[in-house]
Structure 1
């Protein structure tokens, strides 16, 4: 019985994650999760560090989503961002920014 639960565990989280992802609606505009992050100082710095290609792709998705929102339309279903294909492209840059900020904060506490 416990083997059954262990195998079902990841599937349950995957199904729940997929449900929440689709419920959010941003994928209907072709956006990725990282396109929707609140832009605090850390996120702004991570965006600044993006390679030009990722930065341009992000801006295109956001501008397209704004246009769709203003026209009160969504993309055809085959163009929606799929849960399995959504890449957290900003995460490595954001992790680096947060780590640097925490190191600076720690250093400033000591000195």
Structure 2
């Protein structure tokens, strides 16, 4: 049973790594959370709550990616984002926003 679990984790992490490399956004130096749609209410609120330093780093990555895309170039291979270096910096805040919204909805149902 434990061997089966280890195999699934290995396969899923290997598959995840392959899919990450094939996605292409890492060639521009972007992180996964940089790709989230800013028109979604939870993402918009999470971006407002984001630390200014992290927000500036995010904006830099996005602007650099736009510039590279316009020039039809990629970053040098050694600067590509690796899966292990890709930090989900926005997910915890989005989770918190969703939980708060659910609590508000529950409160409104009761009163």
**TM-score of the aligned structures, taking structure 1 as reference length:** 0.93
Counterpart CA distance in 1 for 2:101 and 2:3 is: 43
2:80 maps to 80
Aligned residue for 1:105, secondary structure, equals: helix
2:37 matched to which residue of 1?
38
TM-score by length of 2: 0.93
> How far does residue 3 in structure 1 lie from its aligned partner after superposition?
4.4
1:26 is aligned to 25
1:30-83: CA deviations, max 9, x gaps? 000000012201001101101111010000000000101111111111100001
Root-mean-square deviation over aligned CA pairs: 1.1
Shift >4 Å, 4+ stretches:
none
Q: Following the alignment from structure 2 to structure 1, what is the Cα–Cα distance between the partners of residues 62 and 9? A: 31
Structure 1 gap ranges (5+): none
Number of paired residues? 110
